[in-house]
Amino acid sequence: MHRLDIATYFTRPEGSGDRPDRLTDDDLRSLYGYPVGLDRPWVRVNFVSSLDGAVTVDGASAGLGTPADKRVFGLLRELADAIVVGAGTARGENYGGARTSDARAARRRSAGLAAVPPIVVVSASGRLDPASRLFTDTTVPPVILTSERADPAHLARLRDAGGDVEVAATDDVSAAALLAVLQRRGLRRVLCEGGPGLFGTLIAEDAVDELCLTAAPLLVAGPAGRIAGSARTDPVPMTRAHVLGDDDGTLLTRWVRAGAE
């Protein structure tokens, strides 16, 4: 066992002089900064799970979110060129476009990012509702990466609803195909918000550069799945970049693929 000497407290209660300072948003931007000068998409995956590995409570991730997790969730969006999700997550969590503020948009522009990151939905079936928030509650068009399996008439409806639809595969979209599209579009600071199916594809193709994983201080049990699933088992060694703790027990961890940086 080793002392976790890179652990950093997220907040510091009054009078606890033995702890490091409370982290500011700028501290967090620095802790979660993407590598500079990227010449390829860097895939960051962000998840929250319970201590017993549940990825949902009553079918949604909201029951796992803590104040620290929500703060980092928003900050990771601020740092990203694109937010990538599987269609199961977009449908199940009723995804809309990323929200922003004038200050956040200004910070993004000064960092060389577009004011608002698009949501990129990966869906082999293309079965997304053109009346859903994905299309109706956004300031930038959602990108729909789909396959030849999708019904062309339905894809036309998604385009009519404002979707930027791209057929990127004959069936499932491989990680390589996803990364090729992101690279062509100049979207290199990638934030994948899941879900477990898409994360499984990315792991299986060794396409995950880092995982930001929040452990929420909860035991959940129940039928919930875990954060990744795929047909094969593909161990990928990861190195610990940082561990942050909040006073409510939340642990925020960042793991980088060995040799990725």
> Nearest distance from residue 210's CB to ligand NAP, in Å?
15
Q: Work out which of 70, 127, 137, 156 binds ligand NAP, going by CB under 6 A.
A: 127
Q: Work out which of 10, 34, 42, 47 binds ligand NAP, going by CB under 6 A.
A: 47
Contact region for ligand NAP (CB under 6 A) — 17-25, 47-55, 158-166, 252-260? 47-55
> Nearest distance from residue 198's CB to ligand NAP, in Å?
4
> Nearest distance from residue 13's CB to ligand NAP, in Å?
28
Residue 193 contacts ligand NAP per CB under 6 A: yes
Q: Which is nearer to ligand NAP, 30 or 125 (CB)?
A: 125
Q: Transcribe the chain into DSSP letters.
A: ----TTEEES---TT-TTSPPPPPHHHHHHHTPPPTT-SS-EEEEEEEEETT--S-BTTBSGGG--HHHHHHHHHHHHH-SEEEEEHHHHHHTT--PPP--HHHHHHHHHTT--SSPPEEEE-SS----TTSHHHHS-SSPPEEEEETTS-HHHHHHHHHTT-EEEEEESSSPPHHHHHHHHHHTT--EEEE---HHHHHHHHHTT---EEEEEEES----TT---S---SS-----EEEEEEEE-TTS-EEEEEEETT--
> Nearest distance from residue 113's CB to ligand NAP, in Å?
23
**Contact criterion met (CB below 8 Å) for 202 and 236:** no
Residue 196 contacts ligand NAP per CB under 6 A: yes
Q: Transcribe 193-242 into DSSP letters.
A: ---HHHHHHHHHTT---EEEEEEES----TT---S---SS-----EEEEE
Residue 198 contacts ligand NAP per CB under 6 A: yes
Contact region for ligand NAP (CB under 6 A) — 96-104, 107-115, 152-160, 192-200? 192-200
Q: Work out which of 56, 66, 100, 250 binds ligand NAP, going by CB under 6 A.
A: 56
Residue 124 contacts ligand NAP per CB under 6 A: yes
Mask 66-95, x = binds ligand NAP (CB under 6 A)? -------------------xxxxx--xx--
Q: Work out which of 28, 68, 98, 122 binds ligand NAP, going by CB under 6 A.
A: 122
Residue 142 contacts ligand NAP per CB under 6 A: no
Residues contributing to the site for ligand NAP (CB under 6 A): 47-49, 55-56, 59-61, 64, 85-89, 92-93, 122-125, 127, 172-173, 193-198, 201
